[in-house]
Amino acid sequence: MEKNEIKKICCIGAGYVGGPTMAVFAKYCPNIQITVADINELRINAWNHKNTSKLPIFEPGLEEIIIRRRNKNLFFTCNVENAISDADMIFISVNTPTKTKGIGAGKASDLKWVEASARQIAKYAKSNTIVVEKSTLPVRTAETIKNILLRSQENDLKIEKKSFSVLSNPEFLSEGQAIKDLENPDRVLIGGDDEKAIRLLTNIYLNWIPAHKIIKTNLWSSELSKLTSNAFLAQRISSINSISAICEETGADINQVKNAVGMDNRIGQQFLKAGPGFGGSCFQKDILNLVYLCEYYKLDDVANYWQGVVDINNWQKSRISKLILDYLFGNVSGKKITILGFAFKANTNDTRQSPSIQICKDLLLEGAEISIYDPKVEKDKIEDDLKFVSYQVETKWSRKDSIEEASKDSDAIVVLTEWEEFYNINWDFIYTIMRKPAWVFDTRSCINYQKANKAGFNVWTLGNAMENNSQF
């Protein structure tokens, strides 16, 4: 039976991609019933929580959409099987972290959740259902999904086997501005070869996206485009971060260099902000996927080239930890260090691959006591991220509810996420409650360093020689 329009969508995975993406679909497609299904009961309960400030994901603009669409045409459930069997189109938005063991460990993506989803789809979906890869996946995953959808029916005694169309429709949303990106994307990419399935998916997007922004490619180009986009963005960050170290040595100012370089139209200003290193669930994972792919095809020089982007990123994090240690007289044992910002960037409560994790770890291993303030990251998340350090040493860290509480009696403040409230800290007051000499290390160029300096702080800002920070 051929379907002419999509009436019911299921999204497997209610995470940072699945949740906001389906919320925006629900907003612009009131006639489509959308069910987001996840095996994580706590997460689903949070999505269904009466109090919408308790949603599992913080994204500006998300709560408003949930208030309007939830239980109208947007549903969250743990009943994955039902959601699958009801749907005309199924999005796979499950986690695909880097493998930690086995072949490809540290580089390849762990596809066990994708595979499990494909098996569930093969078992419970109706025939002719369209399956859409949404999560970032290694190139040729669509083939794996197709294979599982087809072959896992072999033991099924039914004579008529189900058929499926698989499309790749990668997500380019950037956390912290996911709703904006989903509502007004630079492009929507649809990869596949089934004309009808592509048309049906295109029709959904046409509800709010102009046709010229919807581009179609083959499956592999679509998958590789996603990896390449992320690799290029990450490469720009590693490039500017490498220059930040040269600025600190030479007296050049990284922000002046960035502006001058970015004014070249061919380069542009975006993704040239030096910082403590990129975090987030995608950049490192996607580059490592690319590296793995290159190694598989014996393109070792290409693999090394992209590996360099990740190496510089790790180097940036460790050089910041080392530099804090050096400025604090080579010893942080028994000292209290305040960490401002634990999320991997502002406007999200996500901490995956956050540079704060590595930098806190380094300082904890040196014996420092860490006091963390982040407006959106909860204590249990920090606990989870830092628990691997506590296997090695006895750790002393705490999460505080304000900048003031976190800074009390500390020797140094390290700004690691560019939250807006850090732009206007009352440095005069903070100085009075800290131990002296009081230091502030700003890795995001976001504080008012003149005011901090005037208040009495020793100020270090990323990409600037120390003397640049103390002229005022």
Concatenate the DSSP letters of all residues of 179-241 into one string.
HHHHHS-S-EEEE-S-HHHHHHHHHHHTTTS-GGGEEEE-HHHHHHHHHHHHHHHHHHHHHHH
Give the interface with ligand ADP as residue ranges (CB under 6 A).
12-18, 37-40, 43, 80, 93-95, 113, 116-117, 135, 281
For the question of residue 123 being annotated catalytic, the response is no
Instruction: Pick the closer one to ligand ADP by CB: 76 or 306.
Output: 76
230 contact choice in ligand UDX, ligand ADP, none (CB below 5 to 8 Å, kind-dependent):
ligand UDX
- Determine the Cα–Cα distance for residues 289 and 307; give it in Å rounded to an integer: 10
CA nearest 219: which of 183, 275, 176, 166? 166
* Per CB under 6 A, 254 contacts ligand UDX: no
* Per CB under 6 A, 278 contacts ligand UDX: yes
Shortest Cβ 210–ligand UDX spacing (Å)? 20
Which residue of this chain has its Cβ atom nearest to ligand UDX in the complex? 280
For the question of residue 282 being annotated catalytic, the response is yes
- Determine the Cα–Cα distance for residues 387 and 403; give it in Å rounded to an integer: 23
Among residues 171, 175, 248, 369, the one annotated as catalytic is: 171
Which residue of this chain has its Cβ atom nearest to ligand ADP in the complex? 15
Shortest Cβ 78–ligand ADP spacing (Å)? 8
Concatenate the DSSP letters of all residues of 1-37 into one string.
---SS--EEEEE--STTHHHHHHHHHHH-TTSEEEEE
Q: For the range 317-323, what are the long-range contacts, defined as Cβ-Cβ under 8 Å and sequence gap of 24 or more?
A: 317/276, 317/277, 317/355, 317/358, 317/359, 317/362, 318/358, 318/362, 319/245, 320/276, 320/277, 320/355, 320/359, 320/441, 320/443, 320/462, 321/358, 321/359, 321/362, 321/363, 322/362, 323/441, 323/460
* Per CB under 6 A, 230 contacts ligand UDX: yes
Among residues 226, 258, 361, 376, the one annotated as catalytic is: 226
Rule CB under 6 A: which of 148-177 touch ligand UDX? 171-175
Here the tokens at position 11 are 């999204």
Burial of 400 (0-12, 13-18, 19+ CB in 10 A): middle
Shortest Cβ 241–ligand UDX spacing (Å)? 7
State which of residues 273, 285, 361, 399 lies at the interface with ligand UDX (CB under 6 A).
273
Among residues 282, 294, 360, 446, the one annotated as catalytic is: 282
233 contact choice in ligand UDX, ligand ADP, none (CB below 5 to 8 Å, kind-dependent):
ligand UDX
Shortest Cβ 44–ligand ADP spacing (Å)? 9
Q: In this structure, are residues 120 and 275 in contact, taking their beta carbons and an 8 Å threshold?
A: no
Instruction: Pick the closer one to ligand UDX by CB: 282 or 425.
Output: 282
Site for ligand UDX (CB under 6 A): how many residues?
19
80 contact choice in ligand UDX, ligand ADP, none (CB below 5 to 8 Å, kind-dependent):
ligand ADP
Instruction: Pick the closer one to ligand UDX by CB: 357 or 434.
Output: 357
Helix pair 300-327, 219-250: axis angle to 10 deg = 40
**Residues near ligand UDX (CB under 6 A):** 171-175, 230, 233, 237, 271-273, 275, 278-280, 282-283, 344-345
Active site residues: 171, 226, 282
